[in-house]
Amino acid sequence: MTNKLKIAIQKSGRLSENSLKLLKECGIDIDNGLNKLKTEASNFPIEVFFLRDDDIPQYVEDGVADIGIVGENVLLEKNKNLKLVDKLGFGKCRLSLAIPKEQNYKSIKDLNGKRIATTYSIILSKYLKAQKIKAEIHEISGSVEIAPSIGLADAICDLVSSGSTLFTNGLKEVEVILKSEAVLVANKKLGKTQQSILDKLLFRMNAVRKAKNTKYILLNAPNNKLDAICKILPGMKSPTILPLADKDWSSVHSVVEENQFWEIIEKLKAEGAQGILVVPIEKMIL
């Protein structure tokens, strides 16, 4: 029995960089030597396996790895018995149906009797069944977007992010089947040690995430406006107020959430706040 948590991440592809970055932001030092199959962190009990994304669900289900980072699209397609621990906010895309752009499209019914090329046959067949559409699924392993132009299929089901691949291949998106992002998955029967390391990792991931959504704000306020200004600032508990050399003014420090940010700034200015500074927060522990 090992006393480490084994995490599987994509070796090289769209999720690799962000997966490593996430671990790094959690303070975990990983030596990512090229062509390595696995490595250990020097300052956290974690071992990292670099794999193809398609293999990650199986490895985690079998317990070869304890946890893994994959796209929800892969997780659903592989249909393994795993626990979805967290959504990670990167690798966002959608799995969509697309057809040649010159064709008319009114509803999903237009796909009845058609041939659809995809690498996502499990998700697609479930979707078609739910929509009561009978179509022929052609499972292919890549370059799905060229299938209509070479006469292999009438439509495709593939991942889309910017839409430029569809566009350059003369296709248009007609239905979104699934919205996907990278997720953290875990084996359903983690050992006690592994579970406690995972809890530590999740604690750090939360601190990083909270910090990303929050800004530290510093401003100068006339003392006679302090009450009004403090009411605008939510703060973690309450804002910090420090006297300035000019006895009629104070410096006010607080934290604000990104999504309320501009609204708060406008209100602060209206109440006479000056010299407003906004700085990023690296970690935030509540």
Residues that bind ligand PRT (CB under 6 A): 10, 13-15, 52-54, 71, 73-74, 91, 93, 158-165, 180
Residue closer to ligand PRT by CB (options 52, 231) is 52
Q: How many CB atoms lie within 10 A of CB 37?
A: 9
At its nearest, how many Å lie between ligand PRT and the CB of residue 122? Answer: 14
Q: Print the binding letters for residues 42-81 with Zn ion: x by CB under 5 A, - otherwise.
A: -----------xx---------------------------
* Residue 162 binding result from Zn ion, ligand PRT, none, given CB thresholds of 5 to 8 Å by partner type: ligand PRT
Residue closer to ligand PRT by CB (options 182, 217) is 182
Residue closer to Zn ion by CB (options 15, 111) is 15
At its nearest, how many Å lie between ligand PRT and the CB of residue 243? Answer: 51
Sign of the four-CA dihedral 179, 180, 184, 185: positive
Q: What's the CA gap between 266 and 235, in Å, rounded?
A: 17
At its nearest, how many Å lie between Zn ion and the CB of residue 13? Answer: 7
Residue closer to ligand PRT by CB (options 19, 250) is 19
CB 71 within 8 A of CB 53: yes
Alpha helices in 159-191 (DSSP H): 164-168
Q: Does 199 bind Zn ion (CB under 5 A)?
A: no
Cα angle 10, 14, 15; round to 5: 45
Q: What's the CA gap between 140 and 115, in Å, rounded?
A: 12
* Residue 178 binding result from Zn ion, ligand PRT, none, given CB thresholds of 5 to 8 Å by partner type: none
At its nearest, how many Å lie between ligand PRT and the CB of residue 129? Answer: 23
At its nearest, how many Å lie between ligand PRT and the CB of residue 36? Answer: 15
Q: What is the DSSP string of 62-121?
A: HTSSSEEEEEHHHHHHHT---EEEEE-S-S-EEEEEEEETTS---SGGGGTT-EEEES-H
Residue closer to ligand PRT by CB (options 95, 207) is 95
Residue closer to ligand PRT by CB (options 162, 259) is 162
CB 111 within 8 A of CB 118: no
Short-list 239, 273, 272, CA closest to 256? 239
Q: At what angle do helices 192-212 and 16-25 cross, to 10 degrees?
A: 90
Cα angle 200, 205, 75; round to 5: 100
In Å, what is the CA distance from 123 to each residue of 39, 95, 114, 178, 204? 33, 9, 17, 9, 33
At its nearest, how many Å lie between ligand PRT and the CB of residue 180? Answer: 5
Residue closer to ligand PRT by CB (options 93, 198) is 93
* Residue 14 binding result from ligand PRT, Zn ion, none, given CB thresholds of 5 to 8 Å by partner type: ligand PRT
* Residue 88 binding result from Zn ion, ligand PRT, none, given CB thresholds of 5 to 8 Å by partner type: none
Which positions lie near Zn ion, rule CB under 5 A?
A: 53-54
